Amino acid sequence: MLTRGHHIAVFIFLSFSAVTFASLANTQFSRKVCVFEGRVLSPGTKFKSDNCTTCRCPRKGGQVMCTVEDCREEPNCLRHTNVTSRSCCQRCEEYGCYHTDGHVYKRGEVISRDGCSRCYCPLEGGHSTCDVKPCPPIMCVDFVHQTGSCCPRCPNGSNCQLGIQIIRRGAVVTHGDAFCRCHLRRRGGNFKLEAVCYGSKGQSRESKAEIFNRLKHAEKRPTFTEI
C-alpha cells in the first residue's frame, strides 16, 4: 500500500520520464529533418533560397547546406544580357577584346596604328594583339629619334666611339701612338661597329706606314643599310 509520500515520488518520476522522452523525441526528429526559416524539410530536399543560392538538406537531416553562385567577370565581353527575376548573373552575348587603354573593341577591329606598330582585335576575340615593326641595328653613337619615325636614325652616318672622339666608319685616325679605325666586328650573332687600334708601343713590330696602309685597305666586312 502506497502512502502519500510514495504517491508524490511516483508522480515526480513519471513527470521527469515524460519530459525526458519528449526531449529525446525532439532531438531524434531534428536529426532526421532540416528546419530552414520555419519550414521543415525532409532529408535530400534541394531548393533555392534566392536566384543565386542553392540549398540542400543532408540525407541524415540536420543543418541546411547552401552554395552561392559566383558571377564571373568577363573583361572581353562587349554586350551582356540583363539580369531577370529567374537569373543570378549576366550572360555575355558578344565577345570582343579588352585592350590596355581600358576599352573593349569588336572582333577584327584595328585599335591603333602608327609608324612602329599596329594593334587589333583577332577575329576570335580575346586578348588584343600588336605587331611591332623591327628596327635594324643602330650603327652610330650619335643617333636621334625623329618625330613620326619608329626607328632611331644616324644623321651623320655610321660611326663609333674612341674615348671622347667619334670616328666615321672606315676612317683611320691616330690615337696616341696607335692608328685606329672604325671597324665592323661580329659579336656572337650580331655585328657592331668598334674602334680597333694597332701600333701601340710594345704591341706591334710593324711600322706606322705599314699599319696605316693595312687599315686603309682592310678586307671589307658585311654591311647594313644606312639608317
Q: What is the pLDDT of residue 56?
A: 94
Task: Give tens-digit pLDDT for 95-154.
Answer: 888 888 888 899 889 988 877 888 999 888 888 889 988 888 889 999 998 887 788 999
CA 12 – CA 14 distance, rounded (Å): 6
Task: Give tens-digit pLDDT for 55-101.
Answer: 999 988 899 999 998 888 888 888 888 777 778 888 888 888 888 88
Task: Give tens-digit pLDDT for 125-140.
Answer: 888 889 988 888 889 9
**Placement of cell 650619335 in the chain:** 142
CA 92 – CA 95 distance, rounded (Å): 7
Instruction: Please tell me the pTM assigned to this model.
Output: 0.41
Residue 172 is placed in which grid cell? 683611320
| Cβ-based neighbours of 123, under 8 Å, separated by 6 or more | 107, 108
CA 218 – CA 216 distance, rounded (Å): 6
